[in-house]
């Protein structure tokens, strides 16, 4: 293999403005033990800020894992369509690319299209790196970005998420708030089209939650996220476009934030009333 062949195999980071449409067509998931993760569901998610709420076990994580390709639907189909946007934020005709997470090659390609955040979970290799800046920059070495641009990319992310003072720290020295921020930064380093985040502020106090939420929603990136924190859903500063309420592994409500939270609170009240009658 020649030098040009090696160069051709290098990953190129897509810097174009993009938007993803996550499309479930009667898609559901049943686990190997027979338990239901998500009932067959037909829904399209393509807004910039979408929240998924529901009680524990309602199916939130399963829904996110289906749309980000972490799990394969056992019924129906899931597809992800990437649109290229013009300067006005409108899709460019003929530039859509469809991915089928059930297809191995597409699932692999989606790893460069979707940034996945699981609470404060960071790759184990982060703990082995000399410092967190080097940990975040490591995957970029596989791209076609020159070294200077790689450092610039990491520097800009650290600045936005308030991690610049800790860039030379080891991952193990970070508190929970900083690890949450680092998990998001790591997902954003390859400049994905969207972030799929499962409880990105879980376990944080009010101040730390505000810090992480402001940084996440203040970044110009499409975000689909699950949360138990209703303040993330209703705060107008975070501009949540749509809220999906899951109950018993199915969509129980789908609409604006205020109406969704009102529905969710009524749902909890009804369930509590039913429990106390027993």
Tens digit of each residue's pLDDT, the chain (278 residues): 343 443 344 567 787 889 999 999 999 999 999 999 999 999 999 999 999 999 999 999 999 999 999 999 999 999 999 999 988 888 898 899 999 999 999 999 999 999 999 999 999 999 999 999 999 999 888 887 888 888 899 999 999 999 999 999 999 999 999 999 999 999 999 999 999 999 999 999 999 999 999 999 999 999 999 999 999 999 999 999 999 999 999 999 999 999 999 999 999 999 888 888 76
Which residues make Cβ contacts (< 8 Å) with residue 129, sequence separation at least 6?
135, 138, 170, 171
Token code pair at residue 157: 């992310």
pLDDT score for 6? 39
Q: Name residues whose C-beta falls within 8 Å of residue 165's C-beta, 6 or more positions apart in sequence.
A: none
Residue linked to tokens 């037909």: 42
Report pLDDT digits (tens) over 118-142.
Answer: 999 999 999 999 999 999 999 888 8
The count of other CB atoms within 10 Å of the CB of residue 95 is 13
Decide: helix, strand or coil at residue 47: coil
What burial class does residue 178 get, using C-beta atoms within 10 Å of its C-beta: 0-12 exposed, 13-18 middle, 19+ buried? Answer: buried
Cα distances (angstroms) measured from residue 270 to each of 166, 233, 263, 266? 47, 21, 10, 6
- What DSSP line would sit under 259-274, residue for residue? HHHHHHHHHHHHHHHH
């Amino acid at each position: 293999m020649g030098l040009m062949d090696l160069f051709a195999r290098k990953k190129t980071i897509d810097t174009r403005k993009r938007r993803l449409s996550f499309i479930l067509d009667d898609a559901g998931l049943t686990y190997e033990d027979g338990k239901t993760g998500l009932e067959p569901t037909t829904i399209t998610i393509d807004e910039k800020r979408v929240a998924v709420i529901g009680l524990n076990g309602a199916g939130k994580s399963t829904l996110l894992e289906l749309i980000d390709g972490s799990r394969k639907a056992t019924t129906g189909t899931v597809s992800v369509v990437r649109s290229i946007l013009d300067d006005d934020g409108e899709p460019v005709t003929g530039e859509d690319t469809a991915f089928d997470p059930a297809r191995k090659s597409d699932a692999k390609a989606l790893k460069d299209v979707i940034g996945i955040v699981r609470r404060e979970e960071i790759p184990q290799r982060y703990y082995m790196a000399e410092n967190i800046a080097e940990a975040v920059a490591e995957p970029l070495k596989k791209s076609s970005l020159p070294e200077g641009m790689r450092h610039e990319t990491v520097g800009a992310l650290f600045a936005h998420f308030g991690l610049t003072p800790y860039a030379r720290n080891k991952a193990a020295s970070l508190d929970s708030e900083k690890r949450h921020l680092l998990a998001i930064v790591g997902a954003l380093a390859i400049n994905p089209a969207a972030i799929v985040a499962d409880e990105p502020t879980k376990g944080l106090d009010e101040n730390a939650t505000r810090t992480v939420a402001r940084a996440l929603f203040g970044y110009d990136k499409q975000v689909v996220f699950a949360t138990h924190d209703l303040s993330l859903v209703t705060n107008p500063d975070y501009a949540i476009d749509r809220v999906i309420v899951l109950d018993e592994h199915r969509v129980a409500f789908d609409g604006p934030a205020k109406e969704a939270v009102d529905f969710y609170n009524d749902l909890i009240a009804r369930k509590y009333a039913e429990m106390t009658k027993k």
